[in-house]
Structure 1
Amino acid sequence: MRVLLIGDYPPPHGGVAIHVQQLHRFLRERGVEAKVLDIGKGGRPAPDVIPVRTPAKFGLRLAGFLSAGWTVHVHTSGDNPKAWVLAALAGVPGPRAPRFITLHSGLLPEFLAGSVARRAMARAALAGYSRVIAVSEAVKEALVGCGVPSEKILVQPAFCASQVRPGPVTAAVELARARRSPLLAMAHHPSPVYGRMQMFRALRMLANELPGVGLAVFGPGTRTPEFARDARETHVAPLLEDLGELNHDEALGLLSRCDVFIRPTTHDGDSVSVREALTLGVPCVASDVCARPEGTFLFRGGHPPDLALRIRQALAEGPAQVAQPDAGPVLLRLYEELAAPGLTDWISTRETQHAAQ
């Protein structure tokens, strides 16, 4: 079996890109020939990852894989027109090439609700896919509302628990750990969706009770004038550990060393970072703006006092022991359903061999 994954690939280390990277690694570790068409803004060389930066190159590369009968799995957000153009292009019916698509964004329902034309576009774009993977029930409901058959949709979080492997802890993380107790952590992005201001306001409240508290912030946009202004206006600048952009393995290293991981987003899907924290046995506090995994401490979105309260609760109670899902085996079975006869035994043999290693 040969599987082509289409989507963003790190860097940058966003949720879709991380899932594509981890699924690619999962498949390769199980002896599956797997490649990635990287349509993101990365560029770092990686085995079997093919960067495509123009529509023409994308079309040519995709046509070659389709004609050779590769199983194709598209990964996109579904919350903007560009995502649906990609879905439509990769989903054009063709011989001998089973098609799958995972729709990742928690903003997808809101986007599709915006107009009849968007819903018609989504229904047409998904017509050529054998199975549609929705990362949440809300995403599935929105797709069914567009006319996509319910039996065609599988709800499966975009997460591979077996691939959560922290890298070495950097010196900056160790320094932050040494001088902050408790040490909180938050993934940052300049978009207001990531909830920077409510996190800063909650942090200011916590500092009145926990004088040693600090917040490790990592991700893009932490060294902009806007970030500095917000930190200054909320009086939290002395409490911050600005780690800049981290590689994914380094980010996991930070998560493994912090006391609480926080996801204060105003909109969200099935966050990879939330599940990573829970997999690593780290308490996680997240907004209630969407369905969250069991074991997450939920706070009312947009309410800093409740966020501060839940952080104190997480520090007091510690992590929940909850197993997280692994999409790898599930997706491998889905690919198998449309693959050549006899592949079932081959896959079972490979899984048995891998488990024995």
Structure 2
Amino acid sequence: MRVLLVGDYPPPFGGVSIHVQQLHGFLRSRGVEARVLDIGKGGRPVPDVLPVRGLVPFGLRLTGFLGAGWTVHVHTSGNNPKAWLLAAAAGGLPGARAPRFITLHSGLLPDYLRASSSRRMFARVALAGYARVIAVSEAVREALLECGVPEEKVLVHPAFCSSQVRPGEVPVRVEAARARRRPLLAMAHHPSPVYGRRLAFRALRLVAESYPEVGLALFGPGTDSEDFIRDARELGVAKYLEPLGDLEHPAALGLLVRSDAFLRPTTHDGDSISVREALTLAVPCVASDVCDRPEGTWVFPSGDAASLAARIRQAVTAGRVAVSSPDVGPVLLGLYESLARRQPARTQPASAM
């Protein structure tokens, strides 16, 4: 069979793009002919990853794959107009013989849809062309059902492939941070307040009362921004920080496995890949209670810095514990195969190459 994944592909290293990359790797490891239509910012050339920019080139490329009978799986956040325009375009293009799937990833999706009846109506129409709609959490599923999406079409599966979690080499600065910090905490950073930077900084100051050599390594965009530096100074934690900037994903996993705990103090979440990655690597994970967290997570009340600090101390003291993690790869492959078997064979035109 042949599978086309549509979505962002790293860089940047966000949750959706990492899942697309890992699912692509899983499918190839199973001998599936798989390609990615990369609609993100793009990066260095990668085999079988096809960058596409602009609505017309996107439509032409996707129409070629649909006409050739490829199974198409779209990946998007679902928390903004652009995401739903993508869903509508990919779901509504001609090529009815080609089975189509979509995964909606964002924990912000329920609030986005509930804010407007027109949004809910558009979502229902946009998803009509998909054979299956994958929600990453029960909260996302419930929001979709409220839009009128048929219950039998909506499945809940975390966007996570545990078989693809492979730590790589780390930069010298990561090894240096590990050597001088006891304990070393890690956190995925983004300038958006959703990621909970200020809350993490307030909790870090409390943790430092018990662990004066503590360090917080932050990886991701914006760790050299004026806002980041201002928050670090205002909250009195600059000396405890190890700002690392963007890391290649294998290096980020290498940081995780060298850390004593991973923090996820978000104000909203779908199903965090980084939380599951930490648990898969047996790294204690402390996360907010804004969504259902995997078993083994140290959960704290969202927005409560004192509770976050307390959970960090507990997690560091308890140490590493192996946690069994799901792998959605085999589940999705089974779904692809079950629908593909119902479709007649098609000849692949040159336009889909």
TM-score (normalizing by structure 2): 0.95
Cα deviation 1:253-274 (Å, max 9, x = unaligned): 0000000000011111100000
Give the equivalent residue in structure 2 for 1:82: 82
Q: Partner of 1:273 in structure 2?
A: 274
Shift of 1:209: 1.1
3-state secondary structure, aligned to 1:241: strand
Q: Which residue of 1 aligns with 2:265?
A: 264
- Find out whether 1:322 has 2:339 as its counterpart: no
2:107 aligns with: 106
Question: How is 1:132-147 mapped onto 2 (pairs within 5 angstroms)?
Answer: 132-147=133-148
Q: CA deviation at 1:342?
A: 11
1:56 equivalent in structure 2: 56
Contact 1:284 1:319 in 2 (8 A): no
Give the aligned partner of residue 12 of structure 1.
12
Cα pair 1:74 1:100 within 8 Å, conserved: yes
Aligned sequence identity (%): 72
Aligned to 1:213: 214
Q: In 2, Cα distance between the equivalents of 1:202 and 1:147?
A: 41
Distance 1:342 1:264 in 2: 45
Cα distance per residue 1:293-329 (max 9 Å; x no partner): 1110001111100000000010111234321110100
Change (3 A) 1:83 1:342: closer
Residue by residue over 1:27-55, the C-alpha shift from the partner in whole angstroms, topping out at 9 and shown as x without a partner, is 01111000000000122210100001111
Which residue is equivalent to 2:334?
333
Cα deviation, residue 341, structure 1 = 6.4
Alignment-mate amino acid for residue 82 of structure 1: K
Q: Structure 2: where are the runs of 5+ without partners? A: 345-353
Check 1:246–1:333 CA distance in 2 against 1; reply closer, same or farther (3 A cut): same
Which residue is equivalent to 1:352? none
Would the alpha carbon gap of residues 325 and 261 (structure 1) be closer, same or farther in structure 2, given more than 3 Å must change? same
CA contact (8 A) 2:169 2:254 kept: yes
Could you give the per-residue CA deviations for residues 237-280 of structure 1, whole angstroms, max 9, x where no partner exists? 11111111100000000000000000011111100000000000
Alignment-derived partner of residue 124 in structure 1: 125
Greater relative contact order (Cα < 8 A, sep 6+) = 2
Query: Does residue 307 of the first structure (1) align with residue 294 of the second (2)?
Result: no
Residue 121 of structure 2 aligns with an amino acid whose one-letter code is A
- SS of 1:158's equivalent in the other structure is coil
Distance 1:235 1:119 in 2: 44
Is contact 2:133–2:154 with CA below 8 Å preserved after alignment?
A: yes
TM-score, structure 1 as length reference:
0.94
Q: Does 1:37 align with 2:27?
A: no
- Indicate if the aligned counterparts of 2:103 and 2:134 stay in contact, CA closer than 8 A: yes
Answering whether residue 73 of structure 2 is matched by residue 67 of structure 1, we say no
In the other structure, the counterpart of 1:243 is 244
Q: Counterpart of 2:167?
A: 166
TM-fit CA distance, 1:169 = 2.5
- Structure 1: distance between partners of 2:178 and 2:139: 38
Q: Which blocks of at least 5 consecutive residues in structure 1 are unaligned?
A: 344-357
Letter in 2 for 1:89: A
**2:202 match: secondary structure:** helix
Q: Which residue of 2 aligns with 1:286?
A: 287
Decide whether aligned partners of structure 1 residues 214 and 132 sit closer, same or farther in structure 2, where only a CA change above 3 A counts: same
What amino acid is the match of 1:11? P
CA distance in 1, matches of 2:341, 2:308: 51
Q: Report if the CA contact (8 A) 2:7-2:17 is conserved.
A: yes
Q: Is the 8 A contact 2:63 2:95 kept in 1?
A: no
How much is the aligned-residue C-alpha RMSD, in angstroms? 1.2
CA contact (8 A) 2:285 2:298 kept: yes
